[in-house]
Amino acid sequence: MQLLRVVGFIHGNMLLLSSTLGTGILFVSPKGVLKYSSLNIPVSLSIWAGCGLLNMMNALCLAELATTFPVSGALYYFLKRSFGSSVAFLCLWIQLFGHFLGIGALCLLIASNLVQLFYSGCPPPEFPKKCLALAVLWSFGILNARGIKTVTQFQTISSLMKMAVLCFISLTGIVLLVVGKKENISRFENALDAELPDASQIADAILQVNYSYLGASLLINIAGEIKSPTDTITRSVISGLSIVTLLYLLTNISYLAVLTPQEIISSDSIAVTWMDRVFPSAQWVLSLGISTSLVTSGSSGILSASRIFYCASQNGQLPVIYSMLNDHHSPVVAVILITILSSIAIIASDLIYLVKYVALGASCVNLLHMIGLLKLRYQKPDLTRPYKVWLPLIFGSIASSVFLIFLPVIQSPNIEHVYQVVFLFCGFLCYWLQAHFNGHAVCFDTITCYWQLLFNVSPSEDKIN
């Protein structure tokens, strides 16, 4: 029993597109970027383009780790190898919250968008919205329990649907700019006269755009299931993120051709507001298409998180049951854990707002990856590296992480930064408890046997050195 290497270049691109394209560009990020860009359209579009290049740079740096250690959960494994168990567990703690809160928020967004079709002109009630969100979430869980082959096939269909939605929005915007009314072009004519944002606002805008690129590291986390990881990961990152960046730029231009910056900022769903303005009689069609295309973003989140838990279990920081595989070669118990935690986030939907406290931790984790990569270059220069990233890209990634971590804290400190630090220290407390229980884990062996029989799983034969 082991994870199967079945993901090639085409399916790798489809997985990357399905995990990256989604809620950010359709609902959240455009309004946040415009707000923090002081409604300056050129600055806003420049940030979208720059963040695409920045995320490609980060992904190419992480690709060196995934090709040097081609195992699922490669980033977790590398941190444990470079900095020890405590730092690796802290990163696991951050990713645990980031994944289940993010998945829960996405499911609520999908459900809200679908239920809204039946409550025109008024907000939908919470009960049917949460019931539908739970149904969508558990469908994701069942899909992931069927193994990587089933997930890949499903994600390929979803990627094509997402690209179709964004291409439709982009092409319509281009047509309106070419043959449309003067008001469609007027917003761009005096765009350079707008106020310029300060450095702190630019950092906040970059964080908003980075939300739209959260799935860029999916291929790194499933490196143990990719065929020819050296070629597949690097080529998929370059081609996939290039397509994503281009689509994001064209989509934002289309939004601005139809809506004013003030209308974008006040909208809860930019894509639906855009559709209501351009094709008001067919608004429900796009709402249904958007909700359907968002479905697999949640599936990608469960896929990525389950592989991190799988690796952590193999390294002794989670119970061994999370690294056991079912007949479909899926770590089904890890999938169930993530699904249950995401269900809690949906039921107690106020927890969704805790997602913002994970942002600082995510930037810290990326900084640790880059420092660890430099440390590995220095300590083991003769280590076999099938792919070696250009050194200035590593320093560029470090500089961007330091900028995003420290500039908002220095320029505009507030109570949220204290909460973020407390959240990180809670991770160290849980690490101490985990280490204590691991020292007295004999009593859990019988429980593990019962769970193994209940879920029909077997220990994995994957070896991590």
Q: Tens place of pLDDT for every residue, the chain, 465 residues?
A: 788 888 999 988 988 888 888 767 766 678 888 888 888 888 889 999 998 998 899 899 999 989 999 988 888 888 888 888 888 888 888 878 778 877 887 788 778 777 877 776 677 788 888 898 899 899 989 999 999 888 888 888 888 888 888 888 889 888 888 876 666 666 666 666 677 888 778 888 887 787 778 777 888 889 889 998 988 999 999 999 999 999 999 998 998 888 888 888 887 677 778 887 887 776 677 667 666 666 667 788 888 889 988 988 888 888 888 889 999 889 999 999 999 988 988 887 654 455 555 566 677 888 889 999 999 988 888 888 898 988 999 999 999 888 888 877 777 777 766 776 777 777 777 777 766 666 555 566 777 888 888 888 988 876 655
Give the SS3 label for residue 459: strand
pLDDT (0 to 100) of residue 90:
82
Report the distance separating Cα 15 and Cα 203, nearest Å. Answer: 28
Contact 144, 304 (CB under 8 A): no
CA R_g for the chain: 22
pLDDT (0 to 100) of residue 192:
64
pLDDT (0 to 100) of residue 413:
72
pLDDT (0 to 100) of residue 122:
72
Residue 112 CA, distance from chain mean position: 20
Measure CA of the first residue to CA of the last residue in the chain; give whole Å: 18
Burial of 219 (0-12, 13-18, 19+ CB in 10 A): buried
pLDDT (0 to 100) of residue 351:
47
For residue 36, give every residue at least 6 positions away whose Cβ sits within 8 Å of its Cβ, in sequence order, or none: 197, 201, 202, 204, 205, 208
Contact 4, 225 (CB under 8 A): yes
Give the SS3 label for residue 278: helix
From 142, 56, 456, 145, select the one nearest 330 (Cα to Cα).
145
Say which DSSP state 27 is in. Answer: I
Report the distance separating Cα 25 and Cα 300, nearest Å. Answer: 17
Contact 366, 216 (CB under 8 A): no
Give the SS3 label for residue 222: strand
Residue 368 CA, distance from chain mean position: 18
Which amino acid is residue 287, in one-letter code? S
pLDDT (0 to 100) of residue 27:
66
pLDDT (0 to 100) of residue 141:
92
CATH T-level fold of 9-459: Amino acid/polyamine transporter I (1.20.1740)
C-alpha neighbours within 13 Å on the C-beta side of residue 137: 31
pLDDT (0 to 100) of residue 441:
55
From 43, 56, 440, select the one nearest 235 (Cα to Cα).
56
Burial of 149 (0-12, 13-18, 19+ CB in 10 A): middle
For residue 245, give every residue at least 6 positions away whose Cβ sits within 8 Å of its Cβ, in sequence order, or none: 48, 49, 52, 53, 56
Contact 416, 204 (CB under 8 A): no
pLDDT (0 to 100) of residue 334:
92
Contact 209, 43 (CB under 8 A): no
Burial pattern 20-49, b for ≥16 Cβ within 10 A else e, equals: bbbbbbbbbbbbbbbbbbbbbbebbbebbe
